[in-house]
Structure 1
Amino acid sequence: MKVSIRRRALLTNGVLTVLLLGGAGLVYAQLGTDQAAGETAVRTVTAGRGSVTASVSASGAVESSRSRALSFGTSGTVEKVYVEAGDKVAKGDILARLDDAAAQEGLSAAKAAYDSAVSDGTGTAQLYAAYVKARNAYREAQRTVAATVLKAPFKGTITAVNGSVGGTSTGTGTGNTQNGQGTAASTGFIELADTTKLQLVGTFTESDAGRLTKGRQATITFDALPGVTATGKVTQIDPVAATSENVVRYPVTITFTKVPDQVRLGQTATVEVVTGRAENVVTVPSTAISTSGGQTTVTVLRDGRQVRTPVEVGVQGATLTEVTSGVSEGDEIVPPSTPVTGQGTGGGQRFGGGFPGGGRR
């Protein structure tokens, strides 16, 4: 009797073990099937209708479109400086002056010689030559005295004072930068800028520069001024490129048309120029479009099959691209494949208007 009970217990335990192992195997197999199905799921997006904007951008520093590096027109010792950086001045204001004692003495001597020549008359060739020489010397002495005084050539803001009282001026002349076309020295005794006329010079890649034309409107944002936006327009596209690290770029001047009060010279800014816009058009995500061998295509899901379909595109934005033929609104588009667990065919995401497209046409 004891042997029979022991056998019955062993049989029962064996049956339970088999059932447990079988159940575990079934669960594992089911999990494996679900995982495989998730790995092979097709993610789609739906071609929508909306607007597409294409743009190009570059960065640069804010500068004045009208600035000058001012220096005395003669050499001498600095006697007085009337301004400092940040001061606002009007046209004709005296900014600094040199000790003009020697210049005044030269002027007095030249004036006396000129008066004598006038008294002697010009009746002979010799007297006329003496008169001309004295007159020219007198005029030169007048210019030398005037050159000891540095005046503002236009209304603006002093951006730098590079000398001090007691220092020596070498009379290097005036550096000038106006409307982006500058010559002469980059620094002077005093530097003056018109802060109401600002610009930004950005360097655009070769392909982006080819999409720009003079007069195109631009939007300017500032790294240090979140939420502050300025407007401008393209006023100059340099014909000569600057190549750096084998990348060809063209300097492009953007002139501000509206300058916010918070903007200062030297601030880092980003300029975005709209190069194309399309409204109420069929759109697909830009990442879903491929170009190879001169042919542009997208992958369309038709009756459960992925069909590579040639398309023609219009405005190409960074987010969305306009499709002019090959795809219709509502078509299911298969973007570059990435396994998505738990999402099956047909659970598409629809792309329409409301997405900004900063890209290219």
Structure 2
Amino acid sequence: MKTLSNIPMENKTRFIIIALVVVILAGISAIFLLRPATNSTADRPSYQTETISRGKVFSSVKAFGTVESEKDLLILCPERSIIKKEYKTPGNKVAKGDLILELDGESVQEDIARMAAQLEMRTNAVEKIRLNLESTQIDLKHNEEVKKNRIEKLKTMLADQENLLQAGTISENRVERTRQEIDLGEKDLQKLMDKNTLRIAQMEADVNGQLLQLETQKSNLAEKKALLSKLRIAAPVPGVILEVGGENGSRVESGRMLVRMADLSSFKLVGMIDSQYSFLIKTGNKVLVHTDGGDLNGQIGKIIPIMDERIQFDVHLKEKSDPKLIPNQNLALDIITSDQENVLRVKKQPGFENSTRQTLYVVQGNKAVKTEVVFGTVGSDWCEIVSGLNEGDIVLTNGPDPLTSPEVIDFE
């Protein structure tokens, strides 16, 4: 029986080589047989696309701003008085209606009592004048009626005398004398009526004058009573007390500043930016204010150059009392330098800000064609398309570099 040890050395070497070749071929075959089948398109690059649309494009410069009260309120002293009690001091926050201080109202109460007494006296005087007017009107009316009755009697007498004159039992002179008495009586009656009318008009004017003074006194008394309530100085709006014009016991004159407070019902922002951007900061520029709860719209107001090569400016908000605003809060701002509405636009990609002329790949069926595009406004998120693309076009956003790639990319 032959064994491996009995085989000659030359044959033994040949046998080992053949065995190794068989093992290698079997391994290669196994690799190809066991490799999972793959789609023929797997090696193709995966492209991302963007559809050209219409919308808003704006460019801006970044800044920051601090939320502050838009205005300070001054509360003036309504009447010469003494500060009776101070409830709030500078630095205190107040809600609308909170009592800040109280003025002494003793002198005002004395004035109210005196004016009330004068008003009562005036009311009584007016009532007396009115009663006197009514009495006088009755007397004057009676006098007129007496004269009218006498004239009527004379007219009746004249009619009788004219009948007697025709009968020849009375003289013409007697009849003429009666006619003259009637004429004089009518003239006297008219004169009396004119005088009575004038006298009544004068008395009515006196009554109206007294009534006017009475109404003036009533109005003054009402104002004095209203003033008494104004001596309790309350916050007209929510805010922070900045200054109080006196201490307990100090005298204050009418019209003098009692309280100065920051109005926390209305806010603005005080913005700050490097002076190198001063040519972009114009009064009236739109501003986008970024808060945690969303963006707010505003507009640049007063601009003030300050030290340290910076520019300070006010931002007046459309929503001045928005609850997202917190006093002394620092917020990021976008100062709009160019604003375009309803224009063709594409999402901004790296490098778009370097030039307004870009080369993009536009998808046309199963291929993408290199196309030159001209931009207008290049914003922070979008770029305005002036020419080269139409609404609905699809462009590659992660394609190869157009400068070093072919004119056409075939997807098949």
Q: Under a length normalisation based on structure 1, what TM-score does the superposition of the two structures give?
A: 0.50
Structure 1 or 2, whichever has the larger Rg, is 2
Q: Under a length normalisation based on structure 2, what TM-score does the superposition of the two structures give?
A: 0.45
